[in-house]
């Protein structure tokens, strides 16, 4: 997949990016930002003054809602510490096979397959560029070692990417489902 470089419109000094380029890039950028920085990092500064003034914005984003849970203070036994794990695979077939085996073994509740990513990396002293598919895996923190072993045993790369990020909060019902859908 090739991306067009922004060009200057002759009638304006603003960069012009085609709408198809924006449509392709924005979902990936949004998903990456949400997974990397977490929802609380985006709305906390926005809502801190709203919470003090009691505005509707504050109540809309309040973490005190029964539908949202912050993992750190969770005393409920209905959820478990959870993580998101990134794994890249070389193609669609490998992604489908690995995703299905992970879910079948109950090593994850859900695996999202994101096609069309391009990875640039240093391997054996040379810069490499490859088209890949990204797997976004939601699972229990306690299953990371078993998941990593499974990926290593079923992946064609010598050094497969397995990177985990903590889930610090989210939908209570989703996090309960994640717990129920994975092995202990």
Three-state DSSP class for residue 19: helix
Label residue 22 by pLDDT band (50, 70, 90): very low
Three-state DSSP class for residue 11: coil
The mean pLDDT of the chain is 76
* Structural domains of the chain in order of their starting residue, each with its CATH number: 7-37 (no CATH), 39-70 (no CATH), 82-180 (3.30.70.120)
pLDDT digits (tens, 9 = 90+) for 144-155: 999 999 999 999
**pTM for the full model?**
0.64
Between 63 and 180, name the one with better pLDDT: 180
Whether the predicted pLDDT of 108 surpasses 80: yes
Task: Give the model's pLDDT for residue 77.
Answer: 84
Please write down the long-range contacts of 150-156, taking CB distance under 8 Å and 24 or more positions apart.
150/101, 150/102, 150/105, 150/107, 151/87, 151/98, 151/102, 154/97, 154/98, 154/101, 155/87, 155/89, 155/94, 155/98, 156/90, 156/94
Label residue 17 by pLDDT band (50, 70, 90): very low
Q: Residue with structure tokens 């510490």? A: 81
User: Which residues, 6+ apart, have CB-to-CB distance to 138 below 8 Å?
Assistant: 82, 83, 84, 85, 108, 109, 110, 111, 167, 178
Whether the predicted pLDDT of 41 surpasses 70: no
Mean pLDDT, rounded, for 24-38 = 51
Q: Which of 34, 40, 86 is nearest to 62 (CA)?
A: 40
Whether the predicted pLDDT of 7 surpasses 70: no
Residue 69's Cβ-count burial label (10 Å; 0-12, 13-18, 19+) is: buried
Conformation bin of residue 54: beta by default, left when phi > 0, alpha when psi is -120 to 50: left
Task: Give the model's pLDDT for residue 175.
Answer: 96
CA distance 89 to 173: 30
pLDDT digits (tens, 9 = 90+) for 91-106: 999 999 999 999 999 9
Whether the predicted pLDDT of 43 surpasses 80: no
């Amino acid at each position: 997949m090739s991306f067009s470089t922004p060009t200057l419109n002759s009638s304006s000094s603003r960069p012009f990016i085609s709408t198809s380029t924006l449509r392709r890039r924005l979902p990936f950028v949004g998903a990456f930002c949400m997974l990397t920085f977490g929802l609380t990092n985006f709305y906390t500064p926005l809502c801190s003054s709203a919470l003090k003034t009691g505005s509707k914005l504050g109540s809309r984003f309040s973490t005190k809602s029964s539908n949202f849970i912050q993992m750190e203070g969770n005393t409920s036994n209905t959820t478990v510490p959870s993580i998101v794990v990134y794994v890249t695979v070389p193609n669609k077939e490998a992604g489908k096979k690995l995703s299905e085996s992970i879910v079948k073994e109950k090593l994850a509740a859900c695996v999202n397959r994101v096609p069309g990513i391009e990875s640039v990396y240093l391997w054996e002293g040379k810069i490499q560029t490859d088209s890949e598919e990204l797997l976004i895996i939601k699972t229990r923190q306690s299953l990371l070692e078993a998941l990593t072993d499974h990926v290593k045993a079923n992946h064609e790369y010598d050094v497969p990417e397995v990177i985990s990020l903590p889930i610090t909060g989210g939908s209570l019902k989703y996090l309960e489902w994640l717990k129920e859908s994975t092995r202990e």
